Structure 1
Amino acid sequence: MNALDRIDRNILMQLQQDSRLTNVQLAAQVGLSPPACLKRVKRLTEEGYISRQVALVAPHKLGPMLHMVVEVFMERDHKQLFQEFVKSIQATPEIKQCYQVTGEVDFVLIVMVRDMEAYEKLCDRLLYSNPNVRKFRTLISMKRDKFETAIELE
């Protein structure tokens, strides 16, 4: 992988803010010709700096949803059991993010569900049925004060 120069970082910052920019618009914003800009974006994608481009949907437009942070405490610290848990997490669409963490808690999950009934079904299916889950603690978000996806590149 090549080291990122100032222009590469600028391209990544611009695309993190709006990936719908045309190549011509992006080139103008970063001070390159369109062919040179396209070549850099292609290289950044091939090298894995750009993993995918997505649309961020406004959850409040889709009706009521519950956003939760769930702390999961495992019974045993065993690599294979953790991997099995992660595999089940990856197959669960209601879980938007999963972090294996250090300290008292083993995993932190970010969950989005329509209502408490849907969350209860998720718990039955995933947490209560997993023999290695000792306990979990659910924190329900009252409101989202900040949500960013961009990574600082300075």
Structure 2
Amino acid sequence: MAVRPASPQRPLDSFDRAILRIVQRDARTPQRAIAEAVNLSAAAVQRRIAAMEASGVIRGNVAVVDPKSIPLTITAIVEVYLQDERAETVQSAKARFQSEPEVQQCYYVTGGTSFILIVVTTDMAAYQALTQRLFEENDSVNRFRSLIALDRVKTDAPLIIP
């Protein structure tokens, strides 16, 4: 996903929030259809979307690919426990996890666990190679725990826009 640099944010009003609800469901919705749904002109919708893109509220538009259509059969939720929580250790781990394409999501968390990762791979052999590279050969990782997903029940849900 191409992420746009953030500009100073302006407060979102009810029109912006309504537009966001629509484009989160389908970013290809024609602006005239959005305009009709939110009771604005198409030009006003276009200006608002451009402003939200420029400010970083809308960070990009992506195609959501069904993992079943390509050979990504393993989804793992991985708890990572670092040796320590020093800023240098944490920043190094963030950079390493962020650079791995198999790491779809990465969260630095509280509660004893250092990171939660969502990882996808083609098969268990690829997953094992990834865990060896990311965790077993990484001196800053104390231990990790893998939870292999049996079914993708809910994914790619839009954010709740109040």
Using the size of structure 2 for normalisation, the TM-score is: 0.91
Structure 2 equivalent of residue 84 of structure 1? 92
Instruction: Say whether 1:43 aligns with 2:51.
Output: yes
User: What do residues 28-80 of structure 1 show as CA deviations (whole Å, max 9, x unaligned)?
Assistant: 22211111111111111111110001010111122451000000011112110
Q: Which runs of 5 or more structure 2 residues have no equivalent in the other structure?
A: 1-8
Alignment of 1:19-30 (within 5 A): 19-30=27-38
- Following the alignment from structure 1 to structure 2, what is the Cα–Cα distance between the partners of residues 64 and 78? 34
Alignment of 1:62-81 (within 5 A): 62-63=70-71, 65-81=73-89
- Following the alignment from structure 1 to structure 2, what is the Cα–Cα distance between the partners of residues 47 and 62? 34
Q: Which runs of 5 or more structure 1 residues have no equivalent in the other structure?
A: none
| Aligned residues between the structures | 154
Using the size of structure 1 for normalisation, the TM-score is: 0.95
Counterpart secondary structure, 1:111: strand
| Identity among equivalent pairs (%) | 34
Structure 2 equivalent of residue 108 of structure 1? 116
User: C-alpha root-mean-square deviation of aligned residues, in Å?
Assistant: 1.1
* Deviation for aligned residue 1:132: 1.1
Instruction: Say whether 1:153 aligns with 2:161.
Output: yes
Report the more deviating stretch, 59-68 or 80-89: 59-68
